[in-house]
Structure 1
């Protein structure tokens, strides 16, 4: 560009005026100034030198050559032109450089201002600039989000409007001290009331900015949301209180030991409930309060635990204030890189009450066992005496009954001429003696099932019930009975006793379906509450559940003798057999619709190897 401008200026000079007219460097000076203005110092000087060559070639005689008629004149003229252009071009270049520095400085100021504004606006903390009267200069978006209001809403409010009333007084007093010059800034934790009504905890830092003259200008507030930290602090304090309460309730005391110095320190106010005379003590102090009989245990276990050979879990007695107390102590150890224990962390629990209770229970158990043995011996003697009495009574009653029955038969046979009334009386005497004999047999049978050892063997109830049904069908061929037995019913019981149980229940069902048009008896099992119940159901006479309390009592019957024969001993015997096996016998019935009897026995799979 400098070359082009210089050539154009030379052409313009040659065109506008002849060489002899003077002012040969004027247009070339303009070209050099323009070149310096747009190209800088080097471009201006290039235009100057090139212009001097062209002027001396075209405008100095002899024209068209670089020869000079007056060399001295040409030298001073060219020197003056060069110096002038050097000053002009240098001044232009200096001005350009200064302008460039000013532009760069202005751009730096704008960039710094933009960065400050971006820092203010996009800060992770809320920031505000406020005037001394409390009005807002600017508020960033984080501050708006913190309290839930828009910028437009905040501009119509004061910070007093959303500061918690309990925190406003402290904030205003500190702000007044700042404006009075007592302090330059302050930091507090305070609460804001969010637009939605909930509380927001913040950490507020407020600083006063002064003018160059030292007068208060405006306030800068930096606000950080610390609600999560506050919630954690509250939860931590609650946990600490609960932990302290739990320790007091369980009488647990944590402690730590510096194994290098040999000092033990209790934590969390342990002496309050452990009654320890100190909070910091050495090994000798600890051994001094341990019961002499328990010291060898502690002295043996502690070194082994420190070496890591055993776990430290020791129970021993301590003597505090002349009283004996029991402590259970557990500890874990922190070790260095070489495996050496450097610190112990442990818990001591006061178990005095438990130990006293255990000792009292042991004493009571010892005396109770003695009392039980004495009571058992007494009951066994009474039971044996009762059994002997029952047998004796039954045996002694049999002889008079046989005599009564024999003489009644003899009277009937030896006196055929007796009138009808007398014969009726004799028949009633013989029937009553027979009934009495049956009652004695039932009493002996009930007594028989109440004594002796119970053998436990696998019993096939299905096969046993089928056999008994077949016997009943053979004894009563005239009965059209529909009976069914579920296959695979197994139990663990005494075979003889269970056979008597099944016989009583099946005979009972067979008897009470005698008047039913289509009698049916079913033997099956069902599971209730995870336990197998063996059931016998019939559709016979049934019974009233309101009178079921008499069902299993000896010699108690729910039907009249003229309806169904019996002594009322079968169900009592059945329940006694089931109870001796550790089971239960229950009954359900409805008059005219039948009855169901269910009993439990140990399952066959409970037998060894079953």
Structure 2
């Protein structure tokens, strides 16, 4: 919109609406105030001026003309005798009225009928069409006919021009209405201004654009709501327009809304000149483009972030025209990959592709263009005389027939990753060899340790048997044996027995760790029932309630599983001996989300703070005066579970029993 540079106390009157302008179609009360009516001659004249003969059928117009003509002939004969002059006077009036009512044809019809009536009734001999003086009659009738043609033709021409004038007036009214509606209801701000800056018209949209009412706007200067950074450019272009250097100008500028926010607009100003070339007035159109500017700013921000992402990720985005076989990188991302140019032809790309990768690239590209598989490959390009690895992905735009017309893709430099993968493969190969060597050494040491443990345990049995045998012989020979000596011999025999049990424990641990693991289907429910029955038979005086969940199945080594259950159930039986209502349960449970077997009791339990020693050989959490044992059972359980690749967990509290979970399969890898 044109910026007004002058103050005005009031808004100049708007151009009146065409419907309110007095004219041909204006109502009779337009002048003189409410209730005013024009004189009847004026009203009659307006009716005659607005009369349209073509709105009535021809037969009605001719009938009216006939009636008027006969009435005029009767009136002529009634007013004066036939011998008096002026025989055509009243008939001329009838023809004129017929023309006014029915147009040219009705007027001429009245003329012809009137001539027949006059010549028949008022010319001697009366009531015949004979003439005493034919020459006189001919010239009188010819002159009357010519006169009537002129009069009727003039009336018809006047009516025709009047109709044309009414059509033109209506067209002007409608055009003015459309122009007024276009100005007032336009979705863009519009204004007309005098050359000196006085407003002519300003529409509502412009006022709403900057948040001012029409009256408030007229009391401001355009500098008051134009952004200071845009003011100089606007003034310069306006002065050039007024000087005649340019006819119009269009700029993007900022307005300051009444609320303080910035409104971006597209301003177009045009100068309208008079017919002699002198400046007349200015037309301004203002369109709100704040949303477009916001989108542009967002796009610039996105492009900047995209460029940063390209640099940080070492990535380039591109598009390819499949018809021209032209590849174009976007946002200057070719610099990130150090490509030779932003635009490359297909043959140029093929020329820098590694020869070993070229067949694969061609084959994959052709299949992807046909839509047979996605384009996601890795290959090498020669950049600055060295080959570098790139990962390339692309998607295709297709026409209605499904033919690919354009490709959009990204290319990522993965040279560092490929080098790291190569180094990892080399390191893995080295590590595998070292692990193999270490495993062999560990296996040899383990086998040697197991053999040593077995040999030591086996060889210790013989000296123990000798010690125990001689001690028994001395006991049997009681002669000369004092009470103190007898007590010493009992201690020797008890210690040798304890050492024998320790040797048996070592042998048992050695046997658990030796041999090949043979997995077979095992029914843990049946096995647990049998073992609990055997424990009950050893102490029939104890009342123990046990519960074994049916259908517990596992794929494991049967002898090892039996040893595992025997140790867990033996511990549950032993540590619940001092519980009045002992209870032992074997069920299926969950261990860290994995299906697991559970053996639980309500016996003495133990302190979880000392659980670190729970599965170590010969480590006990209870004193020998509380419960007998060597501390071998749970160590054996742990070795059996580990050999099966399973998990083992214990949970307890003093006086609240204990629960042991175990699995016999390696956990699934997620």
State the TM-score, normalized to the length of structure 2. Answer: 0.78
Residues 381/134 of structure 1: CA separation in 2 closer, same or farther (3 Å cut): farther
Matched, 1:220 2:283: yes
Deviates more, 1:157-166 or 1:169-178: 157-166
In the other structure, the counterpart of 2:573 is 510
Change (3 A) 1:416 1:117: farther
Shift of 1:194: 6.5
Equivalent residue number for residue 5 of structure 2: none
Deviations 1:267-299 (A, max 9, x none): 654552433455566788767756xxx535536
Question: Contact conserved, 1:206 with 1:219, CA < 8 A, in 2?
Answer: yes
Q: Work out whether residues 325 and 352 of structure 1, in 8 Å CA contact, stay in contact via their aligned partners in 2.
A: yes
Question: Which one of the candidate residues 583, 588, 594 is aligned to 1:520?
Answer: 583
Structure 1 vs Structure 2 CA RMSD: 4.0
Q: State the distance in 1 between where 2:255 and 2:552 align.
A: 77
Query: Retained in 2: the 8 A contact 1:462–1:490?
Result: yes
CA distance in 1: counterparts of 2:222 and 2:334, whole angstroms: 49
Moved more, 244-253 or 380-389: 244-253
Residue from 7, 14, 19 that aligns with 2:82: 19
Matches within 5 A, 1:437-516: 437-516=500-579
In structure 1, the partner of 2:419 is: 356
Aligned with 2:358 (options 288, 295, 298): 298
* Structure 1 gap ranges (5+): none
CA gap of 1:81–1:345, structure 2 versus 1, over 3 A, is closer
Q: Does 1:532 align with 2:595?
A: yes
Partner of 1:207: 270
- State the Cα distance separating 1:25 from its structure 2 match: 2.7
Alignment pair present for 1:272 and 2:332: no
Change (3 A) 1:10 1:277: closer
Of stretches 584-593 and 507-516 in structure 1, the one that deviates more from structure 2 is: 584-593
Cα distance change of structure 1 residues 588 and 151 upon mapping to structure 2, 3 Å threshold = farther
Provide closer, same or farther for how the CA distance between residues 503 and 243 of structure 1 changes in structure 2, counting only shifts above 3 A: same
Once the two structures are superposed, the pairs formed by residues 93-104 of structure 1 within 5 Å of their partners are: 93-104=156-167
Change (3 A) 1:97 1:244: same
1:14-413 alignment, distance < 5 Å: 14-132=77-195, 137-140=200-203, 167=230, 169-191=232-254, 201-226=264-289, 229-253=292-316, 268-269=331-332, 271-277=334-340, 294-295=354-355, 298=358, 302=362, 317=380, 320-321=383-384, 323-327=386-390, 349-413=412-476
How many angstroms does 1:383 deviate by? 1.6
CA apart distance, 1:260: 9.1
Say which is worse superposed, 386-395 or 487-496, in terms of deviation: 386-395
Given the alignment of the two structures, is residue 5 of structure 1 paired with residue 84 of structure 2, yes or no?
Answer: no
**Matched residue SS, 1:449:** helix
Residues 371-401 of structure 1, C-alpha deviations (whole Å, 9 max, x = no match): 2122122212322232233223323433333
The answer (yes or no) to whether the contact 1:135–1:158 under 8 Å persists in 2 is no
SS at match of 1:19: coil
* Contact 1:306/1:341 (<8 A) preserved: no
Change in CA separation of 1:377 and 1:133 when aligned onto 2, cut-off 3 Å: farther
Distance 2:593 2:123 in 1: 134
Shift of 1:234: 4.4
Moved more, 387-396 or 579-588: 387-396
| C-alpha separation in 2, matches of 1:525 and 1:383 | 34
CA contact (8 A) 2:454 2:506 kept: no
The DSSP-based 3-state class of the residue aligned with 1:406 is: helix
- CA distance in structure 2 between the aligned counterparts of 1:340 and 1:543, rounded to whole angstroms: 76
Q: 1:129 to 1:417 in 2, by over 3 A?
A: farther
Q: Distance in 1 between matches of 2:297 and 2:569?
A: 73
> What is the CA deviation profile of residues 154-213 of structure 1, one whole-angstrom value per residue up to 9, with x for unaligned ones?
677676666556555544443343334332222233455667877655433332223344
CA distance, structure 2, for counterparts of residue 599 and residue 54 of structure 1: 138
Give the unaligned 5+ runs of structure 2: 1-63
Q: Residues 478 and 177 of structure 1: is their aligned pair in 2 closer, same or farther, counting only changes over 3 Å?
A: farther
Determine if contact 2:272/2:282 at 8 Å carries over to the other structure: yes
TM-score, normalised with respect to structure 1: 0.85
**Counterpart secondary structure, 1:527:** strand
